[in-house]
Structure 1
Amino acid sequence: MDMQPSATEAHGTPPRRGVLVTDLPASGQHGAQATEPRPGHRQALLALPSQHACVAAARRWTTSLLTCWRLPEHERDSAVLIVSELTANAAQHGHAHMTLLLGLVRDTLHIAVTDSGPARPGLRAQTDPDEHGRGTAIVRSLALWSETRQSARGREVRVGLPVTTTATANAG
């Protein structure tokens, strides 16, 4: 599944604070027209300011959404922990806004967090390793896979979390 930013973001306009919940297009590309979304494939997008106060909102939204998608509690807890870590990083290192995209495809929950702005050189060297840096290890221990992409516009971190097939069967 291609977890690309929304069509609005792709054209350089910052998203407004809000939520977009849709079924995945049949082509598997975000923003594409679809007449027959595949059963059990869902996605939702949340756009927020890059502020630490918004991390709690992202956690609550994720919990609520994954409850609606009928993911078991232990899988929701893992997803919320990942979302918390990734959005906290985006709030700390991003500039204007961040987006959270959740996609449920077969037996994997795709989580993508994007922040605005270029990486801040030397920031990591200024932080105490006892205070920071454990979140990435926690995310990697829970995830099937993870990847980070950096561009001039910001950073996107993508994670795949295994979920039960009963959750995806009930999502449609």
Structure 2
Amino acid sequence: MTWKSEVRKFGVVVALIALAAGGWIYWQSKWVNYSSQVGRFEVEYPRGWSMKEYMFESGFDVRVEFSPTSESNRISREGQISVTMVGKPLAGQVLGSEDEFKLWLDRSDGATASGMKKLGNRLANNIKGVMLAEQLEDYWAITSWFAEGGKNYYLAVLGNGDYGDEEIRIMDKVVKSFRLK
């Protein structure tokens, strides 16, 4: 190999890295803001995705789901991003009580006997939260749970197969955009 061919290879690698970084920046700029009047929160979701808001009489007060409308606007392996606000958790609801929230905040990162894995604590506009992941047989779910003002907020990213670092970055983007009104 000549030094010229090595320089060309290096140039190709640099170009691919720049292209990937440009794609990441482009991908990040393709998000839009959603504001829930009922849930009194704001969050960003990918442009072109569909949105549905559901209201409930007990348990979940409001749930907003964002889904890709085609394979062309899917990001990574995400099949859905959702935000759920719960004012009065049902008796025995998993991830529902203030005591359970405090236990998760204080627990170290890593897997638990239940199969749920703590990915770390998060902060969304000065609201403390905890990021949890669950890998099931056919799909995965990453949930960030925030408790504020007597209400629980669950931000979730769901998809098929296995989750990885990119899915955690996407969840972090959703968390960073989350605001209470």
In our comparison, the structure showing a higher alpha carbon Rg is 2
Same fold (TM over 0.5): no
| TM-score category (smaller protein) | 0.3 to 0.5
Please give the TM-score of this superposition, normalised by the length of structure 2: 0.33
Please give the TM-score of this superposition, normalised by the length of structure 1: 0.34
Q: Which of the two has greater strand per residue?
A: 2
